[in-house]
C-alpha cells in the first residue's frame, strides 16, 4: 500500500516536471516567433526603402538626361 502511494506521487511529480519543461519550451518558441515576425517587418521596411531609393535614382537619372539633351 505504501509503495503504491510512493509510485503514484513519483509519477505525479514526474508529470509535473514534464509539464514545466513543456511550458518553458513553448514560451521560448513563442518568443522566437515574435522575433521572427519583427525581423520580417524590418525586412519588408528595408525592401520598401530600397525600392523608394531606386525610384529616386531613376528620376534623377532621367532629369540628368533631359538636362544633357537641352545642353544645360
Distance separating alpha carbons of residues 58 and 64, to the nearest angstrom: 10
Please tell me the predicted confidence (pLDDT) of residue 43. Answer: 82
Domain count, the chain: 1
* pLDDT mean by block of 10 residues, the chain; 72 residues: 92 97 96 91 80 86 90 76
Task: Kindly state the helix (H) or strand (E) to which residue 32 belongs, with its residue range.
Answer: helix 2-70
Please tell me the predicted confidence (pLDDT) of residue 35. Answer: 92
- Which three three-digit cell numbers place residue 37? 515576425
Residue numbers of the domain that contains 68: 1-72
Please tell me the predicted confidence (pLDDT) of residue 40. Answer: 86
Please tell me the predicted confidence (pLDDT) of residue 4. Answer: 93
Please tell me the predicted confidence (pLDDT) of residue 55. Answer: 86
- Which three three-digit cell numbers place residue 48? 520598401
Amino acid at each position: 500500500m505504501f509503495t503504491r502511494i510512493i509510485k503514484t506521487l513519483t509519477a505525479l511529480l514526474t508529470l509535473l516536471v514534464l509539464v514545466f519543461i513543456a511550458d518553458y519550451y513553448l514560451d521560448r518558441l513563442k518568443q522566437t516567433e515574435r522575433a521572427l515576425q519583427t525581423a520580417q517587418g524590418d525586412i519588408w521596411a528595408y525592401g520598401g526603402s530600397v525600392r523608394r531609393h531606386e525610384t529616386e535614382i531613376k528620376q534623377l537619372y532621367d532629369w540628368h538626361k533631359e538636362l544633357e539633351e537641352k545642353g544645360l
